[in-house]
Structure 1
């Protein structure tokens, strides 16, 4: 089973509850996620992925839980990441994965209906996060 880290990057202002999400140029709307390396703690993997994919720095990460019902053959492990400020409302970040992509980030309001464009695994992950927080 693949081990997946999913950072829950909660906006510092807290109201409304918003988490970092992005538009992948080829794969639609997504949450940050990535593989957990051998011997790596899920919280550390979440902070690493958040920096690599979004350019956001994590001050501290707290493990929230896991689910094997997000994506077939994967255990998603969620960690709440306390971010370093200041934060912009929208930003772009060049991610080196898969030959390099420019990701367009925004803050996804957790308590509002999810916008169209999220693939089913990311929709399930957002609902898991909504319930966990």
Structure 2
């Protein structure tokens, strides 16, 4: 039982970026109840690895199924509910500038996806843990 509880605190965060003439942009989404976030989920017992969990989370939360390349970026102590986050950089070709994906989490929600420059703080309402997560990602990728 203790191992199961500990496993629920391991989170996987697939990081999707794109290059533009203005620099690197990161994929974010607006949760209708919880503000602006990164795609993130719990490492499940059936996941073969952190990398496969990242691919699963992208499909579930963003509807992204085409992932061409994965790169593990490291782990990060979130200081939020004792969660340990694992970041995976995911190369996903030809994504639109914005879209809405209906996610089945928590009874179903429409998540509004968009791109934001990685070198700026999250614009809009977001939990401080996501602000800190983007700072960590920025320190690794830029």
CA displacement 1:45-99 (0-9 Å, x = unmatched): 111101110111222211110011352311000000011x321101000001111
Normalised to the residue count of structure 1, the TM-score between the two structures is 0.91
- Mind listing any 5+ residue stretches in structure 1 that lack a counterpart? none
**CA distance in 1: counterparts of 2:118 and 2:103, whole angstroms:** 24
Say which of 3, 15, 21 aligns to 1:8.
15
Q: Are residues 1:80 and 2:79 paired?
A: no
Normalised to the residue count of structure 2, the TM-score between the two structures is 0.86
Match of 2:138 in 1: 130
Say which of 101, 120, 125 aligns to 1:112.
120
Shift of 1:14: 7.8
Highest CA radius of gyration, 1 or 2? 2
Shift of 1:12: 5.4
Count residues in correspondence. 132
Match of 2:99 in 1: 91
Ranges of 4+ aligned residues in structure 1 off by more than 6 Å? none
Shift of 1:20: 1.0
Q: Are residues 1:33 and 2:40 paired?
A: yes
**CA distance in 2: counterparts of 1:25 and 1:69, whole angstroms:** 23
- Mind listing any 5+ residue stretches in structure 2 that lack a counterpart? 1-5
